[in-house]
């Protein structure tokens, strides 16, 4: 469950989902760049705004052993982008201080995948770094 504030300061309940094919692509992408971090953006379906269906790879994203740096200025205006995804080349999908700073600046949901990059080694967070439940559909 997720709560976020709309412009009118009304709290609304939000349930996130992710398509299995999208999660599979995230996990495989993380495996393919190991020991570097993988990074991308999360896009929702235009009709089902609570369902993550795609990842967007920004041009110029820098992927290193301890970081994935997003060139957010390269993102075109795209209201279907709702957050970020990146990998950790460790077994801990906990956000670092740098991750929390990114979360607070861009999007309302963020996914971190960790070694061994499987269905049990990822977590989702809101813009404050609080764990969010995401259903795989």
Query: Any idea which residues carry the catalytic annotation?
Result: 37
Kindly tell me the sign of the dihedral angle through the C-alpha atoms of 73, 78, 84, 85. Answer: negative
Torsion angle in degrees (nearest 10) through CA of 30, 34, 36, 39: -10
Torsion angle in degrees (nearest 10) through CA of 59, 65, 66, 72: 0
Report whether 14 contacts 130 (CB < 8 A). no
Of 125, 122, 23, 37, give the one whose Cα is nearest residue 88: 37
Distance of alpha carbon 4 from alpha carbon 98, whole angstroms: 21
């Amino acid at each position: 469950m997720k709560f976020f504030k709309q412009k009118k300061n009304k709290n609304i309940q939000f349930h996130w989902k992710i398509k299995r094919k999208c999660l599979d692509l995230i996990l495989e992408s993380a495996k393919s760049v190991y020991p570097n971090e993988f990074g991308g953006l999360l896009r929702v379906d235009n009709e089902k705004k609570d369902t993550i269906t795609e990842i967007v790879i920004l041009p110029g994203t820098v992927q290193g052993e301890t970081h994935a740096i997003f060139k957010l200025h390269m993102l075109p205006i795209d209201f279907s982008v709702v957050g970020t995804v990146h990998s950790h080349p460790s077994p801990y999908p906990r956000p670092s201080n740098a991750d929390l700073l990114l979360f607070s600046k861009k999007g309302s949901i963020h996914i971190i995948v960790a070694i061994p990059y499987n269905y049990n080694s990822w977590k989702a967070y809101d813009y404050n770094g609080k764990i969010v439940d995401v259903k795989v559909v």
